[in-house]
Amino acid sequence: MDQSKRPHPVTTWCESHNVDFRTMNDTIDPALAKEASEYAERLDQLGRARLAGLPVSRGQRGIRVGGPALYELLYFLVRHLRPTAAVETGVAAGWSSRAILDAMHANNHGRLVSIDLPFSRLERMADKPHLTDDQVGIMVDEHLRDRWTLLLGSDQEHLPEALRLVGGEVDFFHYDSDKEYEGRERTMAAVEPALSRDATVVFDDIRDNSHFADYVRQTGKQFAVVGMKEGLVGPLGRVDPAADHGVPWPPVRKGRIRGHRSAS
Ligand SMILES: C[S@@+](CC[C@H](N)C(=O)[O-])C[C@H]1O[C@@H](n2cnc3c(N)ncnc32)[C@H](O)[C@@H]1O
């Protein structure tokens, strides 16, 4: 086969571990899976209306930056796991923040600290249309904000403060900010010591480079690769082992995947 047409090793690895997240949710808790799916439909409609005309993905046509995370999965996991303290990096319009906070509101439990380096501070966005700083998190309604702290600046700058605000222990961590290998590595090095024993971590865009595959190999954590169509998300940690729920969790793969450390 022509080498250039071969799928990237990271894509092959992700495909070989991919499970359908709706099947996974349904196996864990069918009633909650249905609730999450109906919730996602409502959020989709609300978001399209709220963002109409704004320079962000799902707002203006042709704009792809600030695309939403897999909010149906986030809502399901937060409802199911009932974390006390959640931290996330990467907010933009705030689909993921909204889903985590709506789930916490339904749980009547938990708080979220989110960090976002606004587009206005990213060099690559200087001459492109982007959300203004006060539009960061525009998806999050007032009644959800008493559980929420939003810190504007980089992960590096604000992680110590975020960890302090949740009392030094994180039960749920969502990563959707800097997509480079080194950025993910740096952030996880800071977050890792604060993860509670049963913490769940969700990485977005895991196909960008081999960070996720390397991370699961190094930590030996249980994981899944989900959302092939949506751009690939990797939840890991305490998302209920196969022994409990019959979920087709793939075993942690030994051995390094060949190739890339940088974003493709
Ligand atoms: C894909 S968007 C986040 C989408 C969001 N999770 C959602 O579901 O709507 C990525 C965001 O991360 C921000 N970002 C990029 N690099 C960052 C960094 N080093 N620290 C914090 N945020 C960063 C970007 O400016 C952007 O707002």
**H or E stretch covering 105:** helix 95-107
Q: Answer yes or no: is 254 within a domain.
A: no
How far the first Cα of the chain sits from its last, in Å, is 21
226 closest CA partner among 94, 41, 57, 72? 72
User: In which band, very low, low, confident or very high, does the pLDDT at 251 lie, cut at 50, 70 and 90?
Assistant: very low
Q: Answer yes or no: is 64 within a domain.
A: yes
- State CA 4 to chain mean position distance: 30
Q: Answer yes or no: is 182 within a domain.
A: yes
The reported pLDDT for the residue numbered 51 is: 98
Q: Answer yes or no: is 43 within a domain.
A: yes
Residue 38 Cα to ligand 1 middle (Å): 26
Domain count, the chain: 1
Which residues does 131 contact at the CB level (< 8 Å), separation at least 6?
54, 55, 56, 66, 92, 93, 118, 119, 138
User: In which band, very low, low, confident or very high, does the pLDDT at 70 lie, cut at 50, 70 and 90?
Assistant: very high
Averaged pLDDT, 151-164: 98
Q: Answer yes or no: is 264 within a domain.
A: no
Which of 48, 56, 91, 185 to probe ligand 1 with, by most ligand atoms within 8 A of CB?
Answer: 91
Enter the DSSP assignment of 230.
T
Tokens, residue 89: 């990096």
Gap between the Cα atoms of 110 and 147, Å rounded: 7
- State CA 129 to chain mean position distance: 24
Residue 93 Cα to ligand 1 middle (Å): 9
User: In which band, very low, low, confident or very high, does the pLDDT at 4 lie, cut at 50, 70 and 90?
Assistant: low
Q: Would the pLDDT of 138 be above 50?
A: yes
User: In which band, very low, low, confident or very high, does the pLDDT at 33 lie, cut at 50, 70 and 90?
Assistant: very high
Gap between the Cα atoms of 48 and 55, Å rounded: 12
Residue 90 Cα to ligand 1 middle (Å): 3
Tokens, residue 231: 């751009």
Atom 20 in ligand 1: which residue has the minimum CA distance?
154
Reported as a single tens digit per residue, the pLDDT across 169-219 is: 999 999 999 999 999 999 999 999 999 988 889 999 998 899 998 988 888
Which of 78, 88, 176 to probe ligand 1 with, by most ligand atoms within 8 A of CB?
Answer: 176
Averaged pLDDT, 142-149: 98
Domain that holds residue 11: 3-245
Q: Answer yes or no: is 203 within a domain.
A: yes
The reported pLDDT for the residue numbered 260 is: 35
Mutual orientation of helices 71-81 and 30-51 as an angle, nearest 10°?
A: 130
User: In which band, very low, low, confident or very high, does the pLDDT at 236 lie, cut at 50, 70 and 90?
Assistant: confident
User: Which backbone phi and psi does 90 adopt, to 5 degrees?
Assistant: 100, 100
Higher per-residue confidence, 217 vs 125: 125
**H or E stretch covering 244:** helix 242-245
Residue 16 Cα to ligand 1 middle (Å): 28
Q: What is the CATH number of the domain that holds 171?
A: 3.40.50.150
User: In which band, very low, low, confident or very high, does the pLDDT at 167 lie, cut at 50, 70 and 90?
Assistant: very high
The reported pLDDT for the residue numbered 24 is: 85
Q: Answer yes or no: is 28 within a domain.
A: yes
Q: Answer yes or no: is 251 within a domain.
A: no
% of the chain at pLDDT higher than 70: 86
